[in-house]
Structure 1
Amino acid sequence: MTTTDTLTWGLNLARAPRLLIISLGVLLTACVSQPSRQQAVDYRASCATCTADRQLTVVRKTKAVAPEPLPSLPEYQDVWERIAAKLSFTDIARHARVEKLEDWYATHGHYMTKVSDRAGHYIYHIIEQLEARDMPVDLALLPFVESAYDPFAYSHGRAAGLWQFIPNTAKYVGIEQNWWYDGRRDVLVATDAALDYLSSLNQRFDGDWMLTLAAYNAGAGTVNKAIRRNKKKGRPTDFWSLDLPRETERYVPKLLALVKIFRNPASYNITLPHVEDAPRFAKINTGGQIDLAKAASLAGITVEELYRYNPGFNRWVTAPDGPHYLLIPTSNAAQFQTQLAALPEKQRVRWTRYKVAKGDNLISIAKRHHVDIASIRRFNELNSDMLRIGQELLIPGGSQSAPLDNLNRGVASSGRQQRKYTVRRGDTLSEIAKTHSVSVNQLIRWNRLDQGALIKPGQQLSIWTNASAPSGIVRKVGYKVRNGDSLSAIASRFKLKVADILEWNGIGRSSYLQPGQSLTLYVDVTRADL
């Protein structure tokens, strides 16, 4: 071998490891470059062959090196990022009607932030349920439209809860409603029923989600009638072509506008509150009835927070016949389970001993203690409604009778109580008004007095004063008077007093209601549909 040949052989020998390393580097780079968030789902499939080649190449070099694990799929920064990545209605959201509502949401960023914050308590659970059923994640935005994500929301049509079931539909889908409990407001029960109902409607309308949503709002019969009308006229039968109720014609575009906004909220100058993409509550079996204030104490949370996660209960205690579970914030779940297990059975519910007095009956006793007659009968094993003077009754008595102050929204004018004032010698309307911090005109209106009327000792006057706290969960409801309505009929429908309706709306008892007239009502949603 010549000197030149020796040098060439030596150079080639020196280059060989470098060339092998460079070749391996190029091959590995093609396989292990970190995918973007959008490419993450396709990563495993796209690199399957590449991975096998990489492992074979490494084995040839040295059998001691194990194959590298695939990078884990990316976790979302928060629940909004998760939703944005999975929205699927964006292609059907291009319409002038959608753009108008899109503009409204975009100019009401404060509202969007407030409702999104409220949604943070429940939306993770709803997304999980949608994905488990292989339903569009877009539907997690539907409670924004239905109830502004308020589980205590109540409409003039008597719809209640996150998903706004009316009593008849609730009965149709199997939701329980009784004196103790309203499943329409139960986050788990109502969500399960709503998704079942939406799935059923979607099958009925051949997978058309716009018609499905229209039917959820207006009823399947209404949508089918509109479709038949268009077919007879030879017109298209898609949602945009149908003649539907005005509310429904806005309902579907509202959801589609939200889909566009949540796809990229920053482009609308909307900042959403951080909501972790993780469970907010745990479902804990209570094994029986329990005082809600006691349960809150065991969990180390406020009663208001407990009701926020368990809005289905109408009373201060869980229902005797169930459901026997509570939703507890995840950070407090372990503490609640430990404390509940150590709680003696007798301390689960507080009891009051009541001695029957002259004139008492089950109705008056139940009303006085805010409990239903059936419970008094059951707990005292009564075979009839006959009571004896001196007889002792066990009455379930809550440890906190009005724990719901902070859950009442927009009810500043509703927390009013009527009291009777007996006129004394020397009293005048101006003095009485001043003493009770009301105006003379209010006294005149409340008592239907003539201007300048004289009051007499012993005469009783009605005076409305601010109450210290509402007795339940109160929501402001706008109601439009319909043909045939009367004050007594409206009061009966919403479990109100005629005098309250008159006071809230500044109208006289002799006033006639007109169809289309707007009334403001303050409805206790825990009692309205009983």
Structure 2
Amino acid sequence: MGINKALYASGIEGIQVYQKNLHLSPEHKQMLAEDISRFHQADNLWDVLRQEFSLPHYEDNPCVQEQIAWLMNHQDFLLRSATRSAPYLFFILQQVRKRHLPAELVLLPIIESGYNPFAYSTAGATGIWQMMPGTASGFGIKQDWWYDGRRDVIASTRAALNYLTYLQNFFDGNWTLAVAAYNCGEGCVLSSIRKNVRNGENTDFWSLPLPPETRDYVPRLLALAVIIMHPDQYPIYFPVVHNAPYLAQVDVGRQINLKQAASFAGISYKKLMQLNSGFNQTSTSPHLPYKLVLPIQNVESFTENLARSARQNSIDWIRYKVKPRDTLASIAKQFYTTPTTLRNLNKLASNHLKLHSILLIPGPPSPQLEEDVETHAEDVAEKNIGKYKAAQDEVVTVTNKDLMSKETLVAFQEDIKASSGKYSIHAGDTVYMARAHDTWASIAKRFHISMKALRLVNKLPHDRISSGAQMVIPTHLSQTNLISSQEKLSPGDTVYMVRKDDTLEKIASKFHTSAAAIRVANLLKSSQVQEGDQIVIPTHIASG
């Protein structure tokens, strides 16, 4: 089971997107090869960037001249920063363009962090945009034990640019004030403006009584733009950055060990972590989403190796039931981990444990503890269904719910016949524990799978399904019809499955488009949509 070209590969986004559980067909391999070819033939992005600068640079201002001199005396810093920026530059420029922001903002991470995603400040800011925890949370950045989105270049760029857009609006389009506020906060800038108003003084950036760091910060950004704008006058030869997508975002479909992922992609672990710098641990989170960022030229290698090693890269998890006299320290010792790790992983407020509560523990179970351990359904599928007791109603690796075509079902039947009537579990399948009142029809509907396919896989002796019965749901099949639907999509479009309580207006708002555009794209006669409907979202024309 491989990974296919995206439902969308949006030029507007600046990053190619790949979905999980789809076949990498010859046609899509060709598309991927063309993307890579375009990348190698593209113009130098630094040349493109200087043509798109739009802010006044105040080149003759003494403060800007002072910063030009400082930067020219620190060319090693500039070259290191430019080299580190290479994987991200195209994506960030596209995000700036999407929001109609000045291209100079692409340079801001050089001033903030030297384009180092692992940079930390003494104040607690981190990432290339040096976002503080509170600001990041306010703009939708996730931060937990597994992941800090402030270090994730993709997530933090979107959040930082949204914050800068807010600051621009806050200061009525004045970009020097907006950039100053990014450094010291809008309250700081506003306080300085009010002070000057009281004193009858000018309220432009150059006149405000701002902190010394901020008074250097804005001129340094402008000075860097001047240097890049005039390469003949300021000869610093930045490494070539191609004006084409370099990054690909792959939805792996499940948790994955990052060292294993690097091996699959054929890149070093260090390089993988530079591109996926938001991860705090050596594996991705066990919770959605399961997205990895890779160089576009490594996607095919990654998908092929992932397909060959369908189960080798899964993470072993133990669901441990707390017994009398257990402590966090004693459990940590049994499983060769630490109390802090267990507390963070399970979001415990203290070291106090509730009897019979369940703890999630990383690592393989010890044989002597087997009777106290509940494995995840994903592991049950690998070892033997029914060998361990699974948690009630536990569902893992649920794939996108897209309806199976008749051709897919016929091919599926032939595959089972060829395997002497036995079904082999695929990556992307789901192990499900039946609940009270479940029927073949209700389960098939829930997972958007044909009832006939469900019966083929699970040869249960009766039509009636007993509560607690474990079933394999062939959800890997639910992706195959997406290939045929690709012809209906424009680059940048998205296939969306309508959820409970969705309306056309809610969906349009979620994707920053209009209800009318969705109706036109899907030839809908009314605004009514039903749960489970597949609709095309014309995100290639969505507003920023």
- The structure-2 alpha-carbon separation of the partners of 1:197 and 1:390, relative to structure 1 and needing over 3 Å to count, comes to same
CA distance in 2, matches of 1:91, 1:256: 5
Aligned residue for 1:171, secondary structure, equals: helix
Instruction: State the 1:266 CA deviation.
Output: 3.8
Are residues 1:189 and 2:155 paired?
yes
Q: Could you tell me which residue of structure 2 aligns to residue 369 of structure 1?
A: 337
Is this contact kept in 1: 2:57–2:222, CA < 8 A?
Answer: no
Q: Which amino acid aligns with 2:263?
A: S
The letter of the residue matching 1:369 is T
Q: Which residue of 1 aligns with 2:227?
A: 261
Misfit runs of 4+, over 6 Å:
352-360, 385-389
Instruction: Single out whichever of 212-221 and 102-111 deviates more from structure 2.
Output: 102-111
Q: Is the 8 A contact 1:355 1:390 kept in 2?
A: no
Decide which structure has the larger Cα Rg and report it. 1
Assess, with a 3 A threshold, how the Cα gap between structure 1 residues 168 and 353 changes in structure 2: closer, same or farther. closer
User: Partner of 2:523 in structure 1?
Assistant: none
1:327-476 equivalences under 5 Å are 327-345=293-311, 347-350=313-316, 361-363=327-329, 365-366=331-332, 368-369=336-337, 371-373=341-343, 375=345, 383=357, 391-392=369-370
Kindly report which structure 2 residues correspond to 1:195-234, keeping only aligned pairs within 5 A, or say none.
Answer: 195-234=161-200
Aligned mate of 2:124, from 158, 162, 168: 158
Letter in 2 for 1:383: S
CA RMSD of aligned residues (A): 3.3
Equivalent position amino acid for 1:372 in 2: L
The answer to whether 1:131 aligns with 2:101 is no
Please, what TM-score do these two structures have when normalized by structure 1?
Answer: 0.55
Cα displacement (A) at 1:277:
1.6
CA drift of 1:89 comes to: 2.3
Q: What is the rounded CA distance, in whole Å, between the counterparts of 1:175 and 1:153 in structure 2?
A: 17
Rounded Cα–Cα distance in structure 2 between residues aligned with 1:116 and 1:336: 27
SS in structure 2 at match of 1:317: coil
Cα contact 1:147–1:163 (8 A) shared by 2: yes
- In the TM superposition, what are the counterparts of 1:226-375 in structure 2 within 5 Å? 226-345=192-311, 347-350=313-316, 361-363=327-329, 365-366=331-332, 368-369=336-337, 371-373=341-343, 375=345
In 1: Cα distance, 2:120 partner to 2:330 partner: 29
Task: Give the TM-score, by structure 2 length.
Answer: 0.54
Aligned to 1:9: none
Q: 1:395 to 1:296 in 2, by over 3 A?
A: farther
| Aligned partner of residue 192 in structure 2, secondary structure | helix
What is the number of residues matched between the two proteins? 320
Report whether the alignment pairs 1:109 with 2:87: no
Is the alpha carbon distance of 1:351 and 1:321 closer, same or farther for their aligned partners in structure 2, counting shifts above 3 Å? Answer: closer
Match of 1:140 in 2: 106
1:95 and 2:61 correspond: yes
1:60-80 per-position Cα deviation (integer Å, ceiling 9, x unaligned): xxxxxxxxxxxxxxx963111
The separation in 1 between residues aligned to 2:43 and 2:172, in whole angstroms, is: 35
* Distance across 2 between alignment mates of 1:300 and 1:389: 35
Offset from partner CA, 1:122-167 (integer Å, 9 cap, x none) = 1111001111211111100000011110000100000010111111
CA distance in 2, matches of 1:230, 1:377: 48
Following the alignment from structure 1 to structure 2, what is the Cα–Cα distance between the partners of residues 177 and 235?
A: 42
Structure 2: gaps of 5 or more residues = 1-40, 349-354, 377-544
CA–CA separation in structure 1 for the residues paired with 2:155 and 2:347: 29
Structure of higher RCO (CA pairs closer than 8 Å, 6+ residues apart) = 2
Report the CA distance between 1:269 and its aligned residue: 2.7
Match of 2:145 in 1: 179
CA–CA separation in structure 1 for the residues paired with 2:80 and 2:360: 53
Counterpart-to-counterpart distance in 2, 1:184 and 1:90: 30
Please identify, of 183-192 and 84-93, the stretch whose mean Cα deviation from structure 2 is larger. 84-93
Given that 1:358 and 1:389 are in contact with CA atoms closer than 8 Å, whether structure 2 keeps it comes out as no
How far 1:373 sits from its partner (Å)?
Answer: 3.8
The 3 A distance-change label for structure 1 pair 359 and 205 is: same
User: SS of 2:173's equivalent?
Assistant: coil
Structure 2 residue matching 1:165: 3-state secondary structure = coil
**Matched residue type, 2:78:** M
| Distance change >3 Å, CA 384–CA 95, structure 1 → 2 | same
